[in-house]
Amino acid sequence: MIRRSLSAMAVPADAAAIRGSSRNTLKHIGYVLRSNPMTMGAFILFVLFVIAAVLGPSLVPYDPLKSDPAAALQAPSAAHWFGTDDLGRDVFSRVVVATRLDLFIALSAVAISFLLGSVIGSLSGYYGGWTDRITGRFIDTIMAFPLFVLAMGIVAALGNSVVNIIYATAIVNLPFYARMSRAEVNVRREAGFVLAAKLSGNSDLRILATQIFPNALPPMMVQISLNLGWAILNAAGLSFIGLGVRPPTPEWGIMVAEGARFIVSGEWWLAIFPGAVLMLAVFTFNMLGDGLRDIVDPRQRT
Amino acid sequence: MFRSRVKLVLSRFVQAIPTLFGVIVVTFILTRALPGDPAVYFAGPAADAKSIEQVRVALGLDKSLPEQFVRYVGDLVTGDLGDSISTGQPVVSDIASRLPASLELTLFALIISLAIAIPLGILAATRPGTWVDHLCRLVVTAGVSLPVFFTGLALVYVFYYQLGISPAPLGRLDFVHFAPPAVTGFFVIDALLDTDLDTALAALSQLLLPAITLALFTLAPIARMTRAAMLQVLSSDFVRTARAAGLTRSRVLFTYAFRNALLPVITTLGMVFSFMLGANVLVEKVFAWPGIGSYAVEALVVSDYAAVQGFVLAMAVLFVTLNTLIDIAYTVIDPRVGLDG
């Protein structure tokens, strides 16, 4: 009887606390966005990139694959904002349509390495001992390669396709997530709330999944955002050297590679626009990551 | 104390052995993960079942995986990485002949990058909130977002096409000059040793743009780390004490603060090298630089697997060596290492 009334009292109090804290979080996010114009700008750019990725093909003025020899190599104008390439295709349309593929590659790669990395890292951080030593050795071996070079080797071995670019990018990103989740789990292994959960009879895996990991998530989110930029760079770099994406598919890296031939004769718009948009995308995710860090951990601000 | 330090340096070498072993296992797996049957691939398109079988036996592919691995390691020890299909040469000699070009580019870029990033980081840390600090922050955030192949092309457009001060981005020397007699393999140094100033300048002008491209890319992590490390050291007790004792500003800054701030900077150099060796491939492709990066790209295009895997292995071994050297430098520089060991 007493117990029931206690829990009945506790529930509304908890709910109010949770609602209060989420409102506070929103307030804090709003405050960070307002006080830091760079983060605000990055957030707006991020929304634009998402719109381009989702709606891109239906928004663009020209068919990104349709060539028009009569209009080849035209400089940027009102009709063709970013000019046309050597086959007369509209560079602007191609750059916008490419957003979906580039973000898709980066997002899937980061998602795979986040899932795999956090499972590996959490287990080795929680159990320690042999699990830790073996996974640690595995992670060290990946890190013993220059990462981009390893990605090249993986794509060469698995075969030259977009899916293998995703796998390669995921594998070279794995160490960052594994190390981070290992460290985050390790410091919480002996925390009071973990011991309490253990005493009330929860299994190790349950504690790891419901108690420890959710607490390790905020710093991981920052890592994801910073990592997305790097994943985009990595994937674009691979397609720049001719791996994965094949012409005539619009993709930023391959567009820069195709446009590179025309730089020395002065047709700069072929390579510079896709390159600049690629740079902007990476910049957006990096700034967003810095902003997220301010929200998650205000002390780490540099 | 000297003895314990020698011991530590030796133990760093020993620590590199399991890493090297891991690297060899991974490259072995990569060579065996080729799509389809490697024997069919290496036998060539015109091979029949009999010649495929011959190739299989010749390559040892009919043996068990552990046996294949032992054979692979044995080949590596004797320096046999297989033959390149595109050049017809052993991969080892191909890589050895192209390595100096890559090293010249990478080392020159590293020197430029250190010469700019470290002063920038120190200035930003000693003058927080001023324009130097803002410049440093801009460089740090923009630098990590720059795709190297994009910066390279932009520089080519401005300095070659627009201003006409740079030579065409086509390799290490223009057609007018001949390669200097090889001593170090670095064209600029070799030409100077040959007292051929004209060729040295020509080689330098070819080297400048790709090196700057690579340096811009590595500037960011070094400047960021220098700034952070300097900020931390400058707020520490011993610096306050040194200031209170009336030591000159430069003495506090360089003798007390900078030497201690150098340690974390050296540690980040490992990560910088990882980025640099990867970015090297892209820069070499943009500037048609005849190093091992462009060799690997050419090999990738024609599916020349032995060459690609040889390149991956060479880069990994180079990277492990560099990391070991960094560890040793750290051991030698850090006065605390070896005292408690």
DSSP A139-198: HHHHHTS-HHHHHHHHHHHH-SSHHHHHHHHHHHHHHHHHHHHHHHHHHHTT-HHHHHHH
Does A13 map to a domain?
no
Does A19 map to a domain?
no
Q: In this structure, what token pair is assigned to residue B77? A: 């020890």
Does A166 map to a domain?
yes
The shortest CB-CB distance from B23 to any of A141, A147, A156 is to: A141
Q: In this structure, what token pair is assigned to residue A152? A: 């090249």
Give the other-Cβ count within 10 Å of B179's Cβ.
Answer: 12
Residue type, B58: A
Q: Please report, in tens digits, the pLDDT of each residue of chain A (302 residues total).
A: 344 444 444 444 444 445 556 677 777 777 777 777 777 888 888 888 888 888 878 777 777 777 777 777 777 777 777 877 777 788 888 888 888 999 999 999 999 999 999 999 888 888 888 888 888 888 888 888 888 999 988 888 888 889 999 999 999 999 989 988 888 888 888 888 888 888 888 888 888 888 888 888 888 887 888 788 888 888 889 988 888 888 888 888 888 888 888 887 878 888 889 988 999 998 888 888 877 777 776 555 44
Does A102 map to a domain?
yes
**φ/ψ (deg, to 5) at A84:** -125, 160
Tell me the pLDDT tens digit for each residue of B208-220: 899 999 998 888 8
Question: What is the helix (H) or strand (E) element at residue B121, kind and residue range?
Answer: helix B91-126
Euclidean distance between CA atoms A223 and A230, whole angstroms: 11
Euclidean distance between CA atoms B5 and A126, whole angstroms: 35
Domain B98-301 belongs to what topology?
A: MetI-like fold (1.10.3720)
CATH of the domain at A283: 1.10.3720.10
pLDDT under 50: residue ranges of chain B: 340-341
C-alpha distances in Å from residue A26, one per residue of A19, A29, A33, A211, A226: 11, 5, 10, 23, 22
C-alpha distances in Å from residue B108, one per residue of A57, A164, A236, A243, B236: 44, 34, 26, 28, 34
Tell me the torsion sign for CA atoms A196, A202, A203, A206: negative
The shortest CB-CB distance from A141 to any of B26, B156, B312 is to: B26
- Contact list, A302 vs chain B (CB under 8 Å): 224, 227-228
Does A26 map to a domain?
no
For residue A21, give how far its alpha carbon lies from the nearest alpha carbon of chain B (Å): 32
For residue A265, give how far its alpha carbon lies from the nearest alpha carbon of chain B (Å): 7
Estimate to the nearest angstrom the gap between the alpha carbon of A204 and the chain centroid: 30
Segments making up each domain of chain B, as ranges: 1-59+312-341, 98-301
Range of the domain at A81: 36-301
Domain count, chain A: 1
Does A17 map to a domain?
no
- What per-residue confidence (pLDDT) applies to B233? 85
Does A184 map to a domain?
yes
- What per-residue confidence (pLDDT) applies to A104? 93
Residue A236 forms contact with B (CB below 8 Å): yes
Give me the residues of B, 4-33, that contact A with CB < 8 A: 18-20, 22-23, 25-27, 30-31, 33
Q: In this structure, what token pair is assigned to residue A246? A: 């094949």
Compute the C-alpha angle A88/A92/A96, nearest 5°.
130
**φ/ψ (deg, to 5) at B90:** -60, 140
Does A114 map to a domain?
yes
- What per-residue confidence (pLDDT) applies to A163? 92
Chain B residue nearest residue A281, CA to CA: B145
C-alpha distances in Å from residue A242, one per residue of A46, A164, A170, B256, B315: 28, 13, 19, 50, 20
Paired strand residues for A224: none
- What per-residue confidence (pLDDT) applies to B49? 78
For residue A302, give how far its alpha carbon lies from the nearest alpha carbon of chain B (Å): 8
